[in-house]
Amino acid sequence: MIQARYYLGSLLNFPLLPFLYFQSKQIRKSVPSLPEASFPEGKVGSGDKKLRLLTLGESTMAGVGVKKHTQGFTGHLSYLLADAYDLRVEWRVIARSGYTAKNVQQLLVPDIENQSADFIVIGLGGNDTFKLNSPNNWRKSIETLILDLQQKFPGKPILFINVPPIRNFPAFTKLAKFVLGRHIDLLHETLQQVTSEKEGVWYIDKRIQLRDWLNYWPGKTLSPSDFFSDGVHPSELTYKTWAGEVSKFIQDRRILA
């Protein structure tokens, strides 16, 4: 059903592709090329128990938009988990800006050492959407990625965080938000299905709503643009807010209990 909607959407989008192609070139020119964050490994906390956290994925996990990973998603999540569970968290980021799920599975996972993680957190979806990868191909890549990780880290929990809020990207045109927003909806539904079928795998399927994030910081005067470093990639405020929601999900679902 999801794949059928993809084919139908492709037919409906076909007349729009020349306009989308032109606009995408303009977007690329207007968005600065930001580097990945530095220092992809770290430690935080002083509890008696240790948690080895591994984060995988695309630019979100690679920390594009901040200088150091301590300012990014992984750094903030590690701090929150260390505080919530009284842990020593040793974290490591293995991610690349521009990578799809297939790239992560084929190019990053094979180089991960065995027995080097207790908890794996994955952030994907943006680049598969930008490339308009089909739901079926996305499903195959996600299933293979999960299988590979479960073979490397038997019994370790795997968490996929929310897909990016493409409809809220300030740098995108209305047409790009419309076409890519509908496409990421299909990947979102596919990821829901895949993870629901897997033991020890979770997906935060709550859609990111910037209006909710604005209320996350009472007393601060914020606008949606404050959550983006360049109109596309997260700012430190986003990484901190996002990590807070992910930490709450982990605690509510007792994933690390």
In which domain, by residue range, is 196 found? 2-9+39-208+219-252
Residue 226: count other Cβ atoms within 10 Å of its Cβ: 16
Region 50-65: mean pLDDT is 97
Q: What is the pLDDT of residue 143?
A: 98
Highest averaged pLDDT of the listed ranges 25-34, 76-85, 105-114, 223-232: 76-85
Q: Given a cut of 90, is residue 217 above it in pLDDT? A: no
Region 148-155: mean pLDDT is 95
Residue type present at position 168: N
Phi and psi at residue 129, in whole multiples of 5°? -75, -45
Q: Is residue 14 part of a domain?
A: no
Q: Is residue 31 part of a domain?
A: no
Angle at 239 between CA 235 and CA 242, to 5 degrees: 130
Q: What is the pLDDT of residue 216?
A: 84
Torsion of CA 133, 137, 140, 143, to 10 degrees: 20
Q: Is residue 43 part of a domain?
A: yes
DSSP state of 230: S
With a CB cutoff of 8 Å and minimum separation 6, the contacts of 42 are: 69, 70, 75, 78, 90, 91
Q: Is residue 115 part of a domain?
A: yes
Confidence of residue 127 (pLDDT cuts 50, 70, 90): very high
CATH number of the domain enclosing 126: 3.40.50.1110
Total number of domains in the chain: 1
How far is the C-alpha of 60 from the C-alpha of 66, rounded, in Å? 10
CB 201 within 8 A of CB 195: yes
Q: Is residue 29 part of a domain?
A: no
Lowest-confidence segment of 69-73, 129-133, 215-219, 241-245 by average pLDDT = 215-219
Confidence of residue 218 (pLDDT cuts 50, 70, 90): confident
Q: Is residue 122 part of a domain?
A: yes
Region 83-110: mean pLDDT is 96
Q: What's the token pair of residue 62?
A: 């690679």
Q: What is the pLDDT of residue 24?
A: 79
How far is the C-alpha of 3 from the C-alpha of 222, rounded, in Å? 39
CB 90 within 8 A of CB 50: yes
β-pair partners for 55: 93, 121
Q: Which of 170, 177, 248, 173 is nearest to 206 (CA)?
A: 248
Average predicted confidence (pLDDT) for the chain: 92
Q: What is the pLDDT of residue 14?
A: 78
Q: Is residue 25 part of a domain?
A: no
DSSP state of 34: P
Q: DSSP readout, 125-150?
A: -HHHHHTT--HHHHHHHHHHHHHHHH
Residue 4: count other Cβ atoms within 10 Å of its Cβ: 9
CB 54 within 8 A of CB 95: no
Q: Is residue 63 part of a domain?
A: yes
Residue type present at position 148: D
Is the pTM here over 0.85, yes or no? yes
Q: What is the pLDDT of residue 30?
A: 72
